Structure 1
């Protein structure tokens, strides 16, 4: 008699897990199709989130209340100023929220990740234009 109940529990459990995995796969498929549609329509910035933070560029700009980078160029002084002010205002020791601090930090990192490749490319072009001048150090 006990083996009968045990068999029923195993069968019902496997059905529940099977349905859960099927539903998760469907949701992942729909999400992937939505991301492809956003990229196809040219709305790449709104549809693409950073892998490390899961935050879109639009969300990061709204958190820090700055304009989105145009052509890979952003006013990083303004971004850093807003970051410092908001980060300090949400200090947990002063009654702030660690969660909000982490969101602010991730927003700054997301904007920097968007701008960094363009800044590196500009630095390389400037170095090519000026020529390579190694720094020489003299031994005393």
Structure 2
């Protein structure tokens, strides 16, 4: 009788694990196709940003309830104020949600990424217009 119970448990467990692996493979395959299609459509840098943070800029701004950056510039002080307030409110020790805390953190990181990239582009454009001016130090 015991061997029958053990074999049933083993077969049921194998079936569950098999289905889980099959579903994980389907999701990974779909994700890979989505990334390939995004890269093919010319969204190479934008799709790379999306996959690295997991959020679009619009989603990040909605999560933190801040206006999207205009021309790569935003009030980072307001973003940080909203981030700190929401992050502290969702502290798991105080009955908050770790999931929401992580979403809030990713939203802040996504907005910072967008601003940083805009600053780099502006800096490159400025350097291209002015020309490269290396700093020269003279020995005394």
**TM-score grouping bracket, smaller chain normalisation:** 0.5 to 0.7
Q: Indicate the SS of the match to 2:20.
A: helix
Q: After the TM superposition, which residues 6-45 of structure 1 pair with which residues of structure 2 at under 5 Å, given as runs? A: 6-29=6-29, 35=34, 39=38
Q: Indicate the SS of the match to 2:12.
A: helix
Residue in 2 that maps onto 1:119:
119
Bigger fraction of residues in helix = 2
CA RMSD of aligned residues (A): 3.8
- Residue 84 of structure 1: which of 69, 74, 80 is its match? 80
Q: Structure 1 length as normaliser, TM-score?
A: 0.60
Distance 1:124 1:32 in 2: 32
TM-fit CA distance, 1:82? 1.6
- Tell me, which stretches of 5 or more residues in structure 2 are unaligned? 92-97
Judge conservation of contact 2:61–2:111 (CA < 8 Å) in 1: yes
Count residues with an aligned counterpart: 128
Distance 1:14 1:82 in 2: 52
Change (3 A) 1:112 1:88: closer
Judge conservation of contact 1:83–1:105 (CA < 8 Å) in 2: no
Residue in 2 that maps onto 1:134:
134
Q: Using CA pairs under 8 Å that are at least 6 residues apart, name the structure with larger relative contact order, 1 or 2.
A: 2
Judge conservation of contact 1:64–1:82 (CA < 8 Å) in 2: no
Q: Structure 2 length as normaliser, TM-score?
A: 0.60
